[in-house]
Amino acid sequence: MENVEKKHHPEVMHGEVVRLMKEDGYGFIRGLDGNEYYFQQDCLTSGNWSDLDIGSRLRFKGLFAVSVSPS
């Protein structure tokens, strides 16, 4: 098959919660690369929002953390 375009998916990254505004439904993850990534409650694909806390380890995709789940 010629000229087949391969679909690229965001890399799965790992990190931990460094700031969490539970009442407002968002927080920040520090990735293993040292950068911080914003995420929202509605991006959590597994686990419970109420169980998250500072230091919770997560895996996520993309620059704006999506498909977030405990790791």
pLDDT at 15 > cutoff 80: yes
In the 3-class helix/strand/coil scheme, how is the chain assigned residue by residue? CCCCCCCCCCCEEEEEEEEEEHHHCEEEEEECCCCEEEEEHHHECCCCHHHCCCCCEEEEECCCCEEEEEC
| 6 occurs within a structural domain | no
Q: How confident is the model at residue 68 (pLDDT cuts 50, 70, 90)?
A: confident
In angstroms, the Cα distances linking 4 to 1, 7, 59 are 6, 10, 30
| Higher pLDDT pick, 10 / 50 | 50
Domains identified in the chain, total number: 1
| 56 occurs within a structural domain | yes
| 5 occurs within a structural domain | no
- Which residues form the domain of 52? 12-70
| 7 occurs within a structural domain | no
Note the pTM of the prediction, 2 decimals: 0.78
CATH of the domain at 20: 2.40.50.140
| 41 occurs within a structural domain | yes
